[in-house]
Amino acid sequence: MAHLRDQPAGVDGITIDWDAPIRVSDGTVLRADVFRPTEPGDYPVILAMGPYGKGLHLADGYPANWRRMHEAYPEVAHGSTGRYQNWEMADPEKWVPDGYVCVRVDSRGSGRSPGFLDVLTALQARDLYECIEWAGQQEWSNGKVGLLGISYFAANQWQVAALRPPHLAAICVWEGFADHYREGARHGGIACEFVKGAQARQMFTVQYGMGSRGPTDRNTGRPVAGDVDLDDDVLRQNRRDLYAELLARPVNGEFYQERSADLSRIEVPLLSAGNWGGMGLHTRGNVEGFLAAGSELKWLEMHGDTHFNPFYNDRGLGLQKQFFGTFLKGEQNGWLDRPPVELLVRHPGERFEPRFEQEWPIARTEWTEFHLCPETMELRTSPGASGTLSYQPEHEDLRFRLPPAGHDREFTGPAAAKLRISSATADADLFLSLRLYDPQGTEVTFIGSNDPKVPIALGWLRASHRRLDTDRSEPYRPVHSHDSIELLVPGEPVDVDIEIWPTSIVVPAGYVLELGIGGRDYSNQGTEIENAMYPTTGVGPFIHTDPEDRPAEIFGGAVTLHFGPDVTSYLLLPAIPAP
């Protein structure tokens, strides 16, 4: 490695092995960077594997995110030069001095690891399994490996933990989806365009073989995406276009199930950390993973703020170290006395009140049906008058308001809506939003994981996917089977249940909560952000506008809501009684 930039062993007490080879079962050699204490010994391992290029510095690939994080939380820079900081992975300078080894692996076909780029497959889960076993048997390892990372580096934790690698001791799943169909590819059956942009921006740009055309590792001077330059045709042949695949697959099946985990097989201790403002990718999976995992020792934490800040700030780092200290080092640090659920209950103005609970949903929840009243456009605890209301999907939505109260009201948990609808065409995509307004009528938004101004919560459903999985559904959390398409008869009403992703909000006295029902993504006036990777109008990159998935002749007809004494039409909210 003489051609690497000088990196003396032991700088800042960290010895670094660049591009350590990990040969997996089919002979492919994956490449890993290993950051370990200079002092010889047996140390626990923090590992992550993904497709974003282990050599791409966060400030080089995502300069605006880097700057905003350090402005919001200067503590992130304390005790670290930041020279080894990468996208969504632990900072080695915050972990190695505490007696951990940090291992970063480029997944197959990404960065400096050759192969076919195809994310979240069974093969990639097996690769991760073998990387865990490799790390657990190195001379610098104490035989205990923990997985830590955000989003992609969290989602594949569910998959590999279900395979039960012997050296895997604990996982910290930070804002990571668990159900590829429902939480990543198709919300309520509607194609989400997130992956189209993400693979073009973040995966294909560091695909193995981009070589000199890709970014350079500022620490080694080597190309992030391999030492070879492959032409564009070869690169395309060496990868799967995940967005094209999901467009071609409107119903759930083997393709999506391969990329989801059998959560019941997970046995290791786990901490699942989700984001209230992560609507579209970073909320539901953390709750569902926590509930369904077979682990006896499992904890759920729910926070707000951006995608990065809660992971890297002192509070997040402290949670991670206390958790891994227990299960990788055997520390007696109080973690085992911690209640299973910690919620940062959300208030307007980015104020959060930490509170521990014994379960999710909260046992004392008062599930409250707020009926949609067409005559007043209000949400009431008793049904309203008979009638109908219609809207044009691409031009308007209907708004129903919960009248203000003279006291604060908390709603924390999953939510749902039951509606009777008809469409002038053969299908309809339903977009639901929960919004908050102050006494002056101004909408109150919140910092989300991928957008600076998000509403309280969102829900989606394609009407032709209305069939429920009755074995898994609860009144407060309808689960749709998504295994068949049942088109509408134009003008003929049908009943639909719509899941609204988990949320938390304390509605202050005098404030108004509103339910929006329409045929397009929630949108506000938007926010201009330096070097933004996508428009930020309230849903971040999680948009649903592809005409190939939503042709106007099928989804463009007027939608009608039906009301009456024999019609059940309500919003079900998780009211938490005041102490």
Q: Which of 77-91, 151-165, 287-301, 314-328 has the lowest mean pLDDT?
A: 77-91
Rounded-to-integer distance, Cα 12 and Cα 35, Å: 11
How high is the pLDDT of residue 576?
98
Q: What secondary structure does DSSP assign to 201-270, as a single string?
A: IIIGGGBTT-GGGS-B-TTT-SBTT-S----HHHHHHTB--HHHHHHH--S--HHHHHTS--GGG--S-E
Rounded-to-integer distance, Cα 256 and Cα 168, Å: 25
Measure Cα distances from 492 to 396, 419, 430, 540 in Å: 22, 14, 16, 35
Domains and CATH numbers, the chain: 14-176+190-249+305-338 (3.40.50.1820), 366-576 (2.60.120.260)
Mean pLDDT throughout 528-556?
A: 92
223 upstream amide cis, omega within 30 of 0: no
10 Å CB burial of residue 240 (0-12, 13-18, 19+) is: middle
Closest C-alpha among 106, 102, 125, 104 to residue 115: 106
10 Å CB burial of residue 10 (0-12, 13-18, 19+) is: exposed
How high is the pLDDT of residue 321?
98
Element (H, E) at 169: strand 168-174
Mean pLDDT throughout 92-97?
A: 97
Q: Is the pLDDT of residue 410 over 80?
A: yes
Is there a contact between 36 and 96 (Cβ–Cβ < 8 Å)? yes
How high is the pLDDT of residue 275?
98
How high is the pLDDT of residue 574?
98
Query: Average per-residue pLDDT in the chain?
Result: 95
pLDDT tens for 342-379 read 999 999 999 999 999 999 999 999 999 999 999 999 99
How high is the pLDDT of residue 528?
80
> What percent of the chain lies above the pLDDT cut of 70?
98
How high is the pLDDT of residue 11?
60
* DSSP E strand boundaries for 424-493: 429-437, 443-444, 457-462
Is there a contact between 182 and 233 (Cβ–Cβ < 8 Å)? no
95 three-class SS: helix
Rounded-to-integer distance, Cα 159 and Cα 387, Å: 48
pLDDT tens for 252-276 read 999 999 999 999 999 999 999 999 9
Distance of CA 286 to the CA centre of its chain: 8
How high is the pLDDT of residue 532?
78
Mean pLDDT throughout 226-233?
A: 98
Q: Is the pLDDT of residue 340 over 90?
A: yes
Residues in contact with 549: Cβ distance below 8 Å, sequence separation at least 6, in sequence order? 190, 191, 247, 250
pTM: 0.96
316 three-class SS: helix
Distance of CA 559 to the CA centre of its chain: 30
Residues in the chain: 579
Q: Is the pLDDT of residue 566 over 90?
A: no
Mean pLDDT throughout 86-104?
A: 97
Measure Cα distances from 495 to 283, 389, 419, 434 in Å: 26, 15, 6, 20
Mean pLDDT throughout 529-545?
A: 89
Q: In this structure, which amino acid lies at residue 396?
A: E
How high is the pLDDT of residue 6?
40
Q: Is the pLDDT of residue 1 over 70?
A: no
Closest C-alpha among 246, 205, 215 to residue 57: 215
